[in-house]
Amino acid sequence: MKSPIFKIIDNSLVSLPTPRNIRTIWNFGSILGLCLGTQVLTGLFLRIHYFSSSDIAFFSVNHIIRDVSLGWLMRITHANGARIFFISLYLHIARGIYYSGYKLSHVWIAGVSISLILIATAFLGYVLPWGQMSFWGATVITNLFSAIPIFGEDIVYWLWGGFAVGQPTLSRFFALHFILPLAIIILVIIHLIFLHQTGSNNPLGINRNPDKIKFHSYFTKKDILGFFITLFRLFIIVLLLPWLLGDTENFISANPLVTPLHIQPEWYFLFAYAILRSIPNKLGGVIALLAAMLILYFLPLSSTLKLSSLNSPIIKIIWWWFVSILILLTWVGARPVEAPFLILGQRFTVLYFLFYFIVII
C-alpha cells in the first residue's frame, strides 16, 4: 500500500499527464523552484552572520565576504542568484503571455501574486547591505507612499519608524525580507496545486490536448539538464564576474548627507522605474507603476486573441515589438531624468500599456 507522501510524489512528479509538445522554455517553472531553494539556503547562511544595525550592517556584509569561511561564495551567490531568479521569472511570464497561459486563470493569478511578493522581497533584500544606493533607493521608494491621499505621510513614517530612513527601517525591512519567502513558498504550493488540476498549456494553445505522456522520465531529465545549465551559468558569474551586475555605489557605506548623482534600482526593475518617473505628477507616477504590475491580473479577461497563433506574422510583430519596448524602458531607466530620456520614457510607457490593451480588448 502506497504511503500518502509517495502518492503525492507519484501524482505530481511521476504520473502527471504532460503535453508531449512543450518546449524548453517550459523548463523555467522548475528552474524558478531551483532559484527559490538556492536563495533560501544562502539567505539562511547569511542570516547567521548579518547584523541588522545601521551602524554595522555594511561592515557585517564585508565581514561575511572577507572573514567567514565560504562567506564570499554565499554572499555573491545570493546576490547573483536573485538576478538569475528574475531573468527566469521574466522568461516564465513571457512564455505565459505568448502562449496564452493566462487562460488557466487560477494558475496565472497565483503566479502573478508570487511575482509581486518576489519583487517586494528583492527590494527589501537590496536595502540590507546598507550601501549608498541601497539607502537612497529605500528613501526614494518608501517616499512614494506619501503620494497616497490623507494617510500617505503616516504610512511613510510608519515604514521608516521615524522621520527618516534609519535603524528602525533597516530592522523592519530585514524582518520582512526574512518572512516574505514563507508566503512565496505557500503560494508556490498553491500555484502547483492549480497547475496539476488543469494541466500545463502547450504551444498549440489547445486546452484539452489528448497527446500527453507521463512527466517522468522525459520531463524530469529535461528539468535536471536545465538545473545543470542554470547552475553552470550562475557559477560562471559568481566565480569570474561576481560584481558585473552590481552597482558601484553600494561599495560605499550609506551616508544620508551625500546623495548619489543618479539613484536607480537594480537592472531588473529599471523598466518599472522608467514608467514611474515618466509621469510628472507623483501620484500619477505611482498609479502608473502599480498599473504596470497589476495589469497582469487582467489578462485572463482577454478576448479570443491568441498570442499562440504562431502562423500569424502580425502576432509575432506585436510580440517582438513589446519585447523591444521593455528593453528600451530598461535602458531609459538607467539614464538621467533629462531630455531626451524623459520624453522617450513617456512614449515607451504609452506603448507598453498599448500592448496590454491590444491583448485584453
Is 306 tagged catalytic? Answer: no
Contact 292, 272 (CB under 8 A): yes
* 270-to-6, 327, 329, 332, 345 alpha-carbon distances in Å: 44, 9, 7, 8, 11
Q: Which of 196, 212, 282, 306 is catalytic?
A: 196
Is 222 tagged catalytic? Answer: yes
- DSSP-derived 3-state class of residue 3: coil
Q: Which of 52, 60, 200, 308 is catalytic?
A: 200
Cell 554595522: give the residue. Answer: 56
Contact 204, 99 (CB under 8 A): no
CA distance 219 to 201: 15
Contact 207, 199 (CB under 8 A): no
Q: Running DSSP on this structure, what letter comes out for residue 51?
A: -
Q: Which of 223, 247, 278, 308 is catalytic?
A: 223
Is 196 tagged catalytic? Answer: yes
Is 214 tagged catalytic? Answer: no
Cell 513617456: give the residue. Answer: 346
CA distance 175 to 300: 34
Q: Which of 30, 266, 278, 308 is catalytic?
A: 266
Dihedral of alpha carbons 26, 27, 28, 33, sign: positive
List phi, psi (to 5°) of 260.
-60, 150
Q: Which of 49, 63, 222, 316 is catalytic?
A: 222
Active-site positions?
Answer: 196, 200, 222-223, 266
